[in-house]
């Protein structure tokens, strides 16, 4: 088996819809076609939003589609010590700083006349002295932790989309990697997990394109390997409707209850990924042999 791994990383916040299953299929087939391992990771880092009972349903739906994975799924909730350890490295290096601003402070700073021109965090706490920060923390000041992005590259290399200009300073500014409630952010946990679990390629929908540069920046600051990111166009519902995890009708059960067979569904997803003709039938085994990145469409797919 080749060295490296692909992965799928669902958050148990809703049922997987056709678009999620399509991304999982692409990630799985791309990895298997190269002989890579395929890992499953439950992204339950944002505890308050997760519904643990959905985890089993998500894994069952993925399995029924024909996606298999190596080893037990990794659960982010079990890895808090690891995130803490890597967070402390960033803290020691001065790559992150505590931010005491409330949402309102940030909004007011941005709307002030002659205020900073960024659309995100204006950097209010970035230059606070370590002594002042320490005394505010000691006094119980509510704070999150932000990573500095001034030195981040201004373009992102995506292995599917090519070079994409993204200026993190203008698009969001220094971003939160640890929230005021102590929870680590998706960006941080996801980046650290991909690197530490040996993931070498990430395939996901392009609504997470901006996360690619954020995550690769976190990994560069930590001196960890950066995976090859592939962001593929999202799949929309009919009439341009965005598929939402919370809408039950778009989940596997809902789709099969409309009289579509699993084989038809699987083949329709593969066709939407350019891997077979519409109406043709393809098995997961064939897909894993035939997978061809050059055939993946560059525009959004529509799911009716
Ligand atoms: N957990 C994220 C989601 O379910 C996906 C993260 C990723 O693929 O990087 O939307």
> What pLDDT was estimated at residue 300?
85
| Band (113; pLDDT cuts 50, 70, 90) | low
Share of residues in the chain with pLDDT > 70 (%): 95
The CB of 10 under 6 Å from ligand 1? The reply is yes
Report the alpha-carbon distance of residue 5 to residue 53 in Å, rounded.
Answer: 27
Residue in 7, 25, 5, 2 with CA at minimum distance from that of residue 291:
25
Phi then psi for residue 37, to 5 deg, are -70, 160
Domains annotated on the chain, with CATH: 5-77+187-302 (3.40.50.620), 81-185 (3.90.800.10)
> What pLDDT was estimated at residue 226?
98
| 59 pLDDT more than 70 | yes
The CB of 187 under 6 Å from ligand 1? The reply is no
What confidence tens digit (pLDDT) does each residue in 79-89 have?
Answer: 999 999 999 99
> What pLDDT was estimated at residue 1?
66
What confidence tens digit (pLDDT) does each residue in 242-277 have?
Answer: 776 655 557 899 889 989 999 999 999 999 999 999
> What pLDDT was estimated at residue 18?
92
Distance from the CA of 32 to the center of ligand 1, in angstroms?
A: 20
What confidence tens digit (pLDDT) does each residue in 35-56 have?
Answer: 999 999 999 998 888 998 999 9
> What pLDDT was estimated at residue 246?
59
The overall pTM is greater than 0.85: yes
> What pLDDT was estimated at residue 245?
65
Residue whose Cα lies nearest atom 6 of ligand 1: it is: 9
Mean pLDDT confidence for 270-288: 96
Q: DSSP letter string over 116-158?
A: ---SS---TTTT--HHHHHHHHHTT---EEEE--TTS-SEEEE
Locus of tokens 């923390």? 137
What confidence tens digit (pLDDT) does each residue in 142-193 have?
Answer: 999 999 999 999 999 999 999 999 999 999 999 999 999 999 999 999 999 9
How many contiguous H segments (helices) and E segments (strands) does the chain have? 10, 12
Give just the sign of the alpha carbon dihedral 123, 129, 132, 135. Answer: positive
CB 75, CB 214: distance < 8 Å:
no
Helix (H) or strand (E) segment spanning residue 109: helix 103-111
> What pLDDT was estimated at residue 167?
94
The CB of 212 under 6 Å from ligand 1? The reply is no
Distance from the CA of 172 to the center of ligand 1, in angstroms?
A: 19
Closest atom of ligand 1 relative to the 13 alpha carbon: 4
CB 258, CB 303: distance < 8 Å:
no
| 114 pLDDT more than 70 | no
> What pLDDT was estimated at residue 116?
61
Distance from the CA of 150 to the center of ligand 1, in angstroms?
A: 26
| 238 pLDDT more than 80 | no
Distance from the CA of 220 to the center of ligand 1, in angstroms?
A: 20
Give just the sign of the alpha carbon dihedral 251, 254, 260, 263. Answer: positive
The CB of 204 under 6 Å from ligand 1? The reply is yes
Residue 112: CB partners within 8 Å, gap ≥ 6?
none
Q: Which residues pair with 175 in a beta bridge?
A: 147
Closest atom of ligand 1 relative to the 190 alpha carbon: 9
Task: Look at 101-110, 222-231, 273-282 and tell me which has the smallest mean pLDDT.
Answer: 101-110
């Amino acid at each position: 088996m080749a060295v490296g791994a692909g992965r799928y990383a669902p958050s148990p916040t809703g049922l997987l819809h056709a678009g999620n299953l399509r991304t999982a299929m692409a990630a799985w087939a791309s990895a298997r076609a190269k002989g890579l391992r395929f890992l499953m990771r439950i992204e339950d880092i944002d505890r308050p939003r997760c519904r643990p009972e959905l985890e089993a349903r998500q894994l069952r739906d993925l399995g029924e589609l024909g996606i298999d994975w190596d080893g037990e799924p990794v659960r982010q909730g079990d890895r808090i010590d690891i995130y803490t350890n890597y967070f402390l490295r960033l803290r020691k290096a001065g790559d992150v700083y505590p931010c005491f601003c409330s949402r309102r402070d940030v909004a007011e700073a941005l709307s002030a006349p002659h205020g900073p021109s960024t659309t995100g965090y204006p950097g209010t706490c970035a230059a606070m002295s370590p002594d002042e920060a320490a005394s505010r923390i000691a006094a119980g000041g509510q704070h999150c932790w932000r990573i500095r992005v001034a030195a981040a590259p201004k373009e992102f290399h995506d292995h599917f989309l090519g070079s994409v200009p993204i200026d993190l300073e203008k698009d969001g500014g220094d971003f939160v990697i640890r929230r005021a409630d102590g929870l680590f952010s998706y960006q941080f946990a996801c980046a650290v997990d991909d690197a530490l679990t040996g993931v070498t390629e990430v395939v996901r929908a392009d609504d997470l394109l901006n996360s690619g540069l954020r995550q690769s920046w976190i990994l560069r600051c930590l001196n960890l390997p950066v995976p090859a990111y592939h962001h593929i166009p999202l799949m929309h519902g009919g009439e341009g409707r965005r598929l939402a995890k919370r809408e039950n009708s778009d989940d596997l059960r809902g789709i099969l209850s409309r009289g579509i067979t699993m084989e038809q569904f699987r083949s329709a997803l593969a066709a939407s990924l350019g891997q077979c003709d519409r109406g043709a039938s393809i098995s997961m085994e064939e897909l894993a042999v035939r997978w061809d990145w050059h055939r993946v469409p560059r525009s959004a797919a529509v799911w009716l």
